[in-house]
Amino acid sequence: MRPVRSAARAMLASLFVVDGVRHLINPEAKVESARWILDKVGPMLEKTDPRIPTDPRTIVRAKAAADVVAGLALATGHLTRPAAAVLAAGLVPTTAASLGSPSEDQPTSLLKNLGLLGGLLLAAADTEGRPGLRYRTTHAVDRSQRAMKRAAKTAKRDARIAAMSAAAARKLPG
């Protein structure tokens, strides 16, 4: 299953890497859709932290850089779950922007983005057949509880043996 996972991740990531590089070189193609989103979210960002840039060109380049880095991480198998989560989070405003821009290919774009989002969510949840963090922590707690019960039982038995040995020793002459 490993080669299938690796190939699927590389194919999924390729779109983000290629688009990211394209938008790093020429951010003007996405500035208008970014402006549409920033008109709605920009005032909230300025209230939250005035250091966050609200220039559409800067936002497009930052998202493109994040897409390239996360896409390369996903494609190469390094930090695949966080990389997929970053790509999925970046895809949400992109999908919202495509909804706001009237075009002929809007339904196709929406379905493509939803399909990519589904693939990214699967990649973010994929543990590659290994137990997930929740499973490991639950079982670690269970193992420690069993170990504590065993230790308590052993301590009681040892205390009982020690008490019987002390009683027997008191009965001995001398």
Query: Based on the domain organization, do 92 and 171 belong to the same domain?
Result: no
- Contact between 74 and 13 under an 8 Å Cβ cutoff? The reply is yes
Q: Looking at the structure, tell me whether residues 119 and 154 fall in a common domain.
A: no
Which residue type sits at 136? R
Q: 159 and 87 share a domain?
A: no
Q: Is the pLDDT of residue 1 over 70?
A: no
Beta-carbon contacts of residue 12 (< 8 Å; ≥ 6 apart): 74, 116, 119, 120, 123
93 and 8 together in one domain: yes
16 near 91, Cβ under 8 Å? no
How much is the mean pLDDT over the chain?
A: 83
Residue found under tokens 């399909």: 115
- 68 and 83 inside one domain: yes
CA atoms of 167 and 155, how far apart (whole Å): 18
Instruction: Give the pLDDT confidence of 18-63 residue by residue, as tens digits.
Output: 989 998 898 887 787 777 777 777 777 777 777 777 778 888 888 8
Same structural domain, 71 and 152:
no
Altogether, the residues listed in the chain come to a count of 174
Domain that holds residue 153: 132-174
Number of domains in the chain: 2
SS3 174: coil
